[in-house]
Amino acid sequence: MARKRRLLSFHWLKSWPMLGLILLGAVIGAALLAGGATIMHKTSDSEFCVSCHSMERPLAEYQGSIHFQNPKGIRAECADCHVPHQPVDYLLTKIGALKDVYGEITGKINTEEKYNAHKLSMAESVWKTMKANDSATCRSCHSFEAMDILAQRPEARKAHPVAISEGQTCIDCHRGVAHILPDMSASNASGASQLLAAAAHTSEKATTLYAVATQSFRLTLDNEQPDGTLFPSTQVTVLQHNGDQLQARLDGWQQQDVTGAIYAAPGKRILSAVLDEAASSQVKVINSQTDSETGQRWNQVELTFWLPKNILIEDQQKIWQYASGLMTANCTGCHGLTALNHFNANQWIGVMKGMAPRTSLSEEQLRLLTQYAQKHASDSVISEGSEK
């Protein structure tokens, strides 16, 4: 019996070092876990995020947004928008943030000029991530299920049911909610180039085409000077081809005694073309009617002219897709997308002129975007594929 007790004691003496190592490992593991969690937490708070010199500009933008200060006193911190809550995504985001440390060390955006030069690519990276994860960080605070849509502003009341039915995500409409939108000029121009490339391959068998850009036209092929200007998105009917030119007929409307312009619909200031004196004299009147609201007399007209075929496209939807992209990219800095039928066709003119200085839109892009809004306005009488 005594011998068994001595063997048991000896066994325990041999086990203590192993138990000690296990206990020590557990303590070290717990310390590492707690330390790691603390580091993760501390490097996610807004104070840490904006501590770098290069974050002064983003901080100023954030402090001027509704996510920083609002009537309800609810503040979204940096991590609320930029760090997802799901464990795997959280860790991947924190690991990916090491590139920001490298960027700070190398001075990638340490001046306002460098920051502006990289702002678009940084924003597009965030938008791409949020699109891929269904705006996960936004939805940690906002959800369609919790919204009282009837209590929202008119624009939101119209937009959110559409977003729900079409499976849209927050970032589709809300891009400038915490930071001023970057200069979108390059992105805007890229879409226009794609339209022109598509127009270059338009079938010669097509009989109904749409202008992808503002284009001058001539009444006859031998005219050296233009006789007028066709506006983007305007529909024309092809009559004949001659090399790289084609003869087309424009159908539209003129206000009586105002012969310098052709509009897409009576009573609607949707410009299809502006005409010089020679072109005005060649306009053919087909019919007339009186606008019941204004009492103005409008003439249904047509005009035949020549123009380059490489600015015309058969699929009008490609023009609208480009215009929709322009609106998404340039009109969400102060608010979400406004429903197109929130204004009538004539009201959209003033809205666009008022918003233009806050965007990166060129005169040509603004012209197309105005056409897009007007032709989808609350009183639009223009159906797809017809401007008669």
CA atoms within 13 A on the CB side of 203: 6
Please say whether the beta carbons of 381 and 356 come within 8 A.
Answer: no
Tokens 């048991």 label which residue? 8
Does the annotation place 52 within a ligand binding site? yes
| Interacting residues of 194 by C-beta distance below 8 A, sequence separation 6+ | 322
Does the annotation place 342 within a ligand binding site? no
CA dist., res. 8 & res. 332, Å (int): 77
User: What is the token pair recorded at 66?
Assistant: 């509704």
Does the annotation place 160 within a ligand binding site? no
What b/e readout covers 51-82, taking b as 16+ CB neighbours within 10 angstroms? ebebbebbbeebeeeebeeeeeeeebbbbbbb
What b/e readout covers 11-24, taking b as 16+ CB neighbours within 10 angstroms? eeeeeeeeeeeeee
Tokens 């609201």 label which residue? 293
Does the annotation place 201 within a ligand binding site? no
- Cα 161 from chain centroid (whole Å): 19
- Cα 286 from chain centroid (whole Å): 41
DSSP collapsed to 3 states, 54-118: HHHHHHHHHHCCCCCCCCCCCCCCHHHHHCCCCHHHHHHHHHHCHHHHHHHHHCCCCCHHHHHHH
Does the annotation place 67 within a ligand binding site? no
DSSP label at residue 331: S
Does the annotation place 78 within a ligand binding site? yes
Does the annotation place 41 within a ligand binding site? no
Does the annotation place 241 within a ligand binding site? no
Does the annotation place 376 within a ligand binding site? no
Nearest to 179 by CA among 49, 89, 365: 49
Does the annotation place 11 within a ligand binding site? no
CB-neighbour burial class of residue 224 (10 A; exposed 0-12, middle 13-18, buried 19+):
exposed
Q: Which residues are annotated as a binding site?
A: 49, 52-53, 78, 81-82, 138, 141-142, 170, 173-174, 331, 334-335
Q: Which residues are annotated as a binding site for heme?
A: 49, 52-53, 78, 81-82, 138, 141-142, 170, 173-174, 331, 334-335
